[in-house]
Amino acid sequence: MNQILRPSAARGAADFGWLKSRHSFSFGSYYDPDHIGFGALRVINEDRVEPSAGFGTHPHRNMEIISYVISGALEHKDSLGTGSVIRPDELQRMTAGTGVTHSEYNHSDDDLVHFLQIWIVPERDGLEPGYEQKTFPQVERTDALRLLGSRDARDGSVTIHQDVDLYGSVLTANKSLTFDIRPGRKVWVQMVKGRLTANGQTLQAGDGLGILDTGPLDLVAGETSEFLLFDLAA
């Protein structure tokens, strides 16, 4: 299998006290020329933010920014006038486009917030800034690949302004799924929790796997496993 394995322990790391972060791809002061991104997928940061702490107001441009909360609650405010709290089972997409400022804080005074922040390069610069947040109950993702984001917003997914389909799944122990990688496509699997095999390659929490081959991708859970799957243009 033509693949790129990104073990959890090999990711970049940052520790600011209030924030502990792991970077699947080059980000901030962490630079690895072998891991700049994967097609249009530019950033997967796994962040843990201390209670009542967070990222102050800061700018973004020309990026699709997706927040996926694993545990806790993430409070979001932006220059579009949007304010919300993102919790597990919810996905937020923000189109930075021509420019937006926003802040992200741990909504709790007591508990960590643990989340993935994902950046996808949009299909073109200069998009109108926008925001979308939807709930995808775990029951819809259990033993299934639930479409969370897509270019055409089909099946109730959020709109991502790029040729990418983002799926989420919670695959219970000993269950399996098969995803067909079409010609002209490639796939990135990002583990959130648990342990599964992808065409025989064992993946655990924090691991990522890029697959460049076409054909069936067989996913088998060794224990209950939560993961994201990105179907991207090759």
Q: Binding residue per annotation — 123?
A: no
Q: Binding residue per annotation — 102?
A: yes
Asked if residue 70 lies in contact with residue 116, where contact means CB atoms within 8 angstroms, the answer is: yes
Q: Binding residue per annotation — 104?
A: yes
Residue 211: what are its φ and ψ, rounded to 5°? -125, 120
End-to-end CA distance of the chain: 15
Within 8 A by CB and 6+ apart from 84, the residues are: 75, 76, 92, 133
Q: Binding residue per annotation — 23?
A: no
For the annotated binding site, the residues are: 58, 60, 102, 104
Q: List the binding residues for Fe cation.
A: 58, 60, 102, 104
